[in-house]
Amino acid sequence: MSIPKTQKAIIFEKNGGELQYKDIPVPTPEPDQILINVKYSGVCHTDLHAWKGDWPLPTKLPLVGGHEGAGVVVAKGANVTNFEIGDYAGIKWLNSSCLGCEFCNKGAESCCPKPVLSGYTHDGSFQQYATANAVHAAKIPKGTDLAQVAPVLCAGITVYKALKTCDARAGEWVAITGAGGGLGSLAVQYAKAMGFRPIAIDAGDDKKKLCLDLGAEGFVDFKTSPDLGKEIVELTNGGPHAVIHLAVAEAAVTQSTEYVRPTGTIVLVGLPGGAYVKSEIFSHVVKAINIKGSYVGNRADTAEALDFYARGVVKSNAKVIPLSELPKVYELMEQGKAVGRYVVDTSK
Ligand code: 8ID
Ligand code: ZN
């Protein structure tokens, strides 16, 4: 397989700076890495946070973003035994971790104190050739539609893990904020496939239609509902057993501490910069509610999330656009107008 010396990428030199579509060198894999010819990459709101520099953790600069990359292995380092040239592989947010610390040992590798993060501390999938640690890279079965599977590599894994974390049982209500966005459109489907009864919370007719088409049992518009909490409590006959927060909004979290069902669990996933959870302690205690964080997923969660996709019970419905048009997706996301997930085609 011939590997070019240079390739197209979207790169920025400072946070919030110009998103340049240009030729950059193709990286060489380290002994424990594979080189993936990225065909498609999903665009996650995390990529927008990274570009803007929203979070207390600094990004590498200059940076190639992207962490939902699906492609073909074209080269591998000397220590790699679990991938062959020509295999399909996926680039995840957690590009690598130490595998030796307390958290890696417990399968909580996203909490490793020395993580390597794709599209954040390591150049990611908004380029045609990217490197990934072979032990952490996702295995994608041959014959899979690489454009459609790409969003599973972050959005799918993350929402699947959050739903595993939420303590709800089959038949119980799970409210999902940000349900019409990238993570949300997958969360509604995973929730349904896992036996829960999803209620979608987002705004606008396009997102309402998407959520109901994907299997949500109800939709509450956070912009137009006269009393969102009351509407959710009525729909769920007493409040949802769990709430999964994918919205990039602090207010959504505070509201949910009021409408969540007694003994219910609130799972924080969305990462609005500088935000805090506010929960009134008296009702928090007497309703015995739980609030948890959930951060991507481990290697087993990855394989399980991909298996739901392979069985066809979860679809990504991703919209494919050229890599050179990535800035347009950021604009739509910023305005809350991105319906579902966008995927970039790295060949254009
Ligand atoms: O591991 C993790 N915890 C993880 C993994 C991946 C992504 C966390 N994230 C984070 C991202 O960094 C981002 O902060 O999850 C968040 C959602 O990512 P996304 O799904 O990729 O974003 P999106 O497609 O823009 O969707 C966000 C949706 O939230 C809605 C918007 O309308 C949009 O559809 N929304 C907002 I903004 N405010 C809302 C509110 N108050 C709301 N929905 C309901 N109520
Ligand atoms: Zn992501």
The Cα–Cα gap between 300 and 303 comes to 5
DSSP E strands in the chain: the ranges are 6-11, 20-25, 33-42, 69-76, 88-91, 94-96, 116-117, 129-133, 138-140, 173-177, 197-202, 218-221, 242-245, 265-268, 290-293, 319-322, 342-345
Tell me which residues have their CB closer than 6 angstroms to ligand 1: 44-46, 49, 154, 158, 177-178, 180-184, 201-203, 207, 222, 246-249, 251-252, 269-271, 294-296, 333, 336, 338
Q: Which residue has the tokens 């494919």?
A: 320
Percent of the chain at pLDDT exceeding 70? 100
CA 247 to ligand 1: nearest atom: 29
Question: In the predicted model, what is the mean pLDDT of the chain?
Answer: 97
Q: Is 70 exceeded by the pLDDT of residue 34?
A: yes
From residue 193, alpha-carbon distances to 56, 171, 271, 308 in Å are 35, 11, 25, 8
Is the CB of residue 16 less than 8 Å from the CB of residue 53?
yes
Task: Return the SS3 of 60.
Answer: coil
Ligand nearest to the CA of 120: 2
Smallest CA separation from ligand 1 atom 28, residue = 178
Domains observed in the chain: 6-153+297-345 (3.90.180.10), 157-293 (3.40.50.720)
Give the Å distance between the CA of 126 and the centre of ligand 2.
13
Tokens representing 171 are: 């038949």
pLDDT digits (tens, 9 = 90+) for 85-106: 999 999 999 999 999 999 999 9
Percent of the chain at pLDDT exceeding 90? 99
pLDDT digits (tens, 9 = 90+) for 46-68: 999 999 999 999 999 999 999 99
pLDDT digits (tens, 9 = 90+) for 277-317: 999 999 999 999 999 999 999 999 999 999 999 999 999 98
Radius of gyration of the chain (CA): 20
The Cα–Cα gap between 67 and 73 comes to 16
pLDDT digits (tens, 9 = 90+) for 107-123: 999 999 999 999 999 99
Average pLDDT over residues 30-45: 98
Residue 335 has what pLDDT?
Answer: 95
Average pLDDT over residues 147-162: 98
Q: Is 70 exceeded by the pLDDT of residue 327?
A: yes
pTM exceeds 0.95 for this model: yes
Average pLDDT over residues 68-94: 98
Is the CB of residue 116 less than 8 Å from the CB of residue 133?
yes
Residue 35 has what pLDDT?
Answer: 98
pLDDT digits (tens, 9 = 90+) for 225-239: 999 999 999 999 999
Smallest CA separation from ligand 1 atom 25, residue = 333
Give the Å distance between the CA of 190 and the centre of ligand 1.
16
Residue 40 has what pLDDT?
Answer: 98
Residue 210 pLDDT grade (very low, low, confident, very high; cuts 50, 70, 90) = very high
The Cα–Cα gap between 241 and 247 comes to 18
CA 251 to ligand 1: nearest atom: 41
Residue 60 has what pLDDT?
Answer: 97
Q: Is 70 exceeded by the pLDDT of residue 1?
A: no
